[in-house]
Amino acid sequence: MAALAAGWKFILPALKLLKGGKFLLTGVTMLVSIGVYSIRFGWKFAMGFVLCIFVHEMGHVLMAKKQGVPVTAPIFIPFFGALILQKKWASTAWGEALIGIGGPIGGGLSAFACWAIYLATGNPLFLALAYFAFFMNLFNLTPIFPLDGGWIVGAISPYLWVGGLVIFAGLAITRVVTSPLIWLLIIISLPHVWSALKAGKAYPGALETTKQQKLLMGACYLSLCGVLVAGMVVTETELHTLMPRRTTSRAPVQAQ
């Protein structure tokens, strides 16, 4: 409870970056998402999960602010996550990549924060939150537009988007992932990918990245993916080790 209360102390100052109706829009959609997630996962997990998503979105907002790009307030959509919309393109492809990577960096930090709280308290709620935050941010790094990974690799080469489409199509066709969200993302991505490949550039009107910027962003992208994979594997392993303990601890009570 204390940790979740501390989380809200972070939310309030962060929300001050969002003025007027933006504050209201974000606050209301956050509450709706918490309510919907609570039905299935309980209010404590729902509150923590939405907070992790909020930190992710504020990573985008802060990077967009640094690039001078106006964006909408974060809008939360249950079982989809949240999104912000840019009101104009950044002046450079590098700027677009920075806005894109800001979210997973913020979300990754929220995952590590949950993990640290688990290590300090032993509360499995925060271990579960850490695992799902690692997974959510890793999924967002898939190199397909409009996910964050698509915005990032677009600054390196729009041809990398084709790889993202192949990955998603393979997951859907083999039914490794059965969510209709996969097909929705493919459909949304196709027009942008097609126009970018015809134009030979990912972002209309934006200055292309230099070779050094491409190498740097590629290294940051791969490093971030590696960190999130490692975090997800470690927390998932720990979750599996906790399950037998919880089952064993309940056995004597059930036997009575």
Determine contact, residues 152/100, Cβ cutoff 8 Å.
Answer: yes
Is 191 exposed, middle or buried, given 0-12, 13-18 or 19+ CB atoms closer than 10 A? Answer: exposed
Is this prediction's pTM over 0.75? Answer: yes
pLDDT of 7: 46
Running DSSP on this structure, what letter comes out for residue 85?
A: -
Q: Which of 129, 122, 72, 69 is nearest to 94 (CA)?
A: 69
pLDDT at 253: 38
* Domain ranges within the chain, ordered by starting residue: 21-242
**Is residue 79 within 8 Å of 97, Cβ to Cβ?**
no
209: Cβ contacts below 8 Å, ≥ 6 apart = 92, 93, 94, 97, 155, 156, 217
Alpha-carbon distance of 51 to 55, in angstroms, equals 6
- The token pair that represents 7 in the structure block: 């989380």
pLDDT of residue 49: 95
In this prediction, residue 152 carries a pLDDT of 93
Place of tokens 């907070």: 51
| The predicted structure's pLDDT at residue 16 | 52
Query: From first to last of its 256 residues, what are the pLDDT tens digits of the chain?
Result: 444 444 444 455 555 555 555 667 788 889 999 999 999 899 999 999 999 999 999 999 999 999 889 988 888 988 888 888 888 888 888 999 999 999 999 999 999 999 999 999 999 999 999 999 999 999 999 898 888 999 899 888 888 888 888 888 888 888 777 777 788 888 888 888 888 787 777 777 667 888 999 999 999 999 999 999 999 999 999 999 887 655 444 444 333 3
